[in-house]
Chains A and B, each alone.
Chain A
């Protein structure tokens, strides 16, 4: 769900600009964009729920390009007010770029409002399809539909919904995001670095930077780390900062971090 990263999972937040280039060059590329799934058309209701998930994600979605998924609104009687929706998203510092899975009427209305129309699939479908794919490999007579699914998922199913394992240290200025799954780190997360996951985060090394688990709202997500030295930890948006004030019983210790209600617990692993 991270915005503009295609194949590399580690990016530098501060990207120095490149050499002199022609003023415009058209290039093909593959992006993974966050998806906003709508199930109703009432903008007020949308805003309430959106505000909630955004606060859970801290400022992670700030100015993020976004795709609106209409699959669950196809059956509804009301029409979607795309211009109003766009204004609402802009107000929340989101940049909607397109819609997917709409009815022909919805697509026409979205086009009119300036949205691109994408033929993507949601994470759920991707996971379904991955299952289908392994199934398809077993039976030589895979259906045409299955083969098509396979092809359309080839770019994405390595990461979506699965665990990401990172072997190199994450350094100051770098950010790693495990979309739709867990993140396992085998080297240090240094001060000024950020590791983020929709699921759990496991760090078998010192955590000196920031770790944010369950950023899309999973309150059951946990963070495990071998040496607690963090600047910030967060689960589903409930966070705690540290400024040289990590309590002795957890400082430099192996800990797990989890939520009970809205209480963030940091406990040594015995």
Chain B
């Protein structure tokens, strides 16, 4: 049975698209036929991070409006044959998405793919609701700061009240907490919330902690999802996340502070 996973957060810029790209890539690497859909209509970031922006001809909105077939719009990933990307439109606005249209596309993809990863836009309006409405599971991306946690709480409220599963009275959406841009040193100094604080406030199971790392930016700039980077702590942390999503038990790593050497302490990183 195909699974629809939404990557959502409420707050903007916390790492949803980075996560969508790496999770979809990770699932495909493990052999699952996967598609990642950009719901951020009007901005279109996913194709850049996946490194396929030059090959975008048709997009999600075209398919929904019957202007292109799904087959025409899906882009095959350069590295993995069982990974597809459905890009967002740059020229339309968020109202270009509507439920029946989205449902039709998702139902079609459910027949051909094992996992459908939905990269949600920020906010709690139409676009975000559209991305989470049909989800079976949700990755709630949270940065270790109060405003991000608050927005994640809001999104969790919407997941439990406004999603299709909630409205139909089906089993609730399976929720996963993902803490990103985690900096153990800044948690130790009290500048950032700790994992325990966040878990206590949100009350959902932790699926992963992605450390803050320069390699994420390098990866997005070169259009290669960071999970491909096997020497970066973020890449490894995303691999762990994918394993946990597949039900494996993997301990959380990279969460203890590293002592900076005297040189670094004096001159910064």
Q: Which residues of A contact B (CB under 8 A)?
A: 8, 10-12, 14-20, 168-174, 187-188, 190-193, 208
Give CA–CA (A14, B158) in the complex, Å: 9
- CB neighbours (8 Å) of B151 from chain A are 172
Quick one: given A12-B162, A18-B99, A19-B100, are A187 and B203 in contact (CB under 8 Å)? Answer: yes
Give CA–CA (A18, B94) in the complex, Å: 12
Contact of B124 with A16 in the complex, beta carbons under 8 Å: yes
Contact of B95 with A20 in the complex, beta carbons under 8 Å: yes
Contact of B161 with A16 in the complex, beta carbons under 8 Å: no
Quick one: given A19-B100, A171-B156, A187-B203, are A12 and B150 in contact (CB under 8 Å)? Answer: no
Q: A172-B157, A193-B157 are in contact. List 6 more A-B contacts (CB 8 A).
A: A11-B161, A18-B99, A19-B99, A172-B151, A172-B153, A190-B153
- CB neighbours (8 Å) of B98 from chain A are 19-20
Chain B contact residues, majority secondary structure: helix
- Contact string against A for B residues 140-176, beta-carbon threshold 8 Å, 1 for contact and 0 otherwise: 0000000000110110111011100000000000000
Contact of B125 with A171 in the complex, beta carbons under 8 Å: no
B interface size (C-beta, 8 A)? 23
Quick one: given A18-B99, A169-B203, are A191 and B161 in contact (CB under 8 Å)? Answer: no
B126 at the interface (CB under 8 A from A): yes
- CB neighbours (8 Å) of A17 from chain B are 125-126
Q: Which residue of A10, A15, A173, A192 has the most chain B CB atoms within 10 A of its CB atom? A: A173
The 4 nearest A-B residue pairs measured at CB: A171-B157, A19-B98, A172-B153, A19-B99
Contact of A16 with B153 in the complex, beta carbons under 8 Å: no
- CB neighbours (8 Å) of B160 from chain A are 10, 168, 171
Give CA–CA (A208, B200) in the complex, Å: 12
Quick one: given A172-B157, A192-B154, are A14 and B124 in contact (CB under 8 Å)? Answer: yes
- CB neighbours (8 Å) of B124 from chain A are 14, 16, 173
Contact of A173 with B128 in the complex, beta carbons under 8 Å: no
- CB neighbours (8 Å) of A171 from chain B are 153-154, 156-157, 160
- CB neighbours (8 Å) of B100 from chain A are 19
Give CA–CA (A187, B160) in the complex, Å: 14
Quick one: given A16-B125, A16-B126, A17-B126, are A174 and B99 in contact (CB under 8 Å)? Answer: no
- CB neighbours (8 Å) of B156 from chain A are 169, 171
Contact of A172 with B99 in the complex, beta carbons under 8 Å: no
Contact of B153 with A191 in the complex, beta carbons under 8 Å: yes
**CB under 8 Å from chain A, chain B span 192-228:** 201, 203
- Contact string against A for B residues 88-104, beta-carbon threshold 8 Å, 1 for contact and 0 otherwise: 00000001011110000
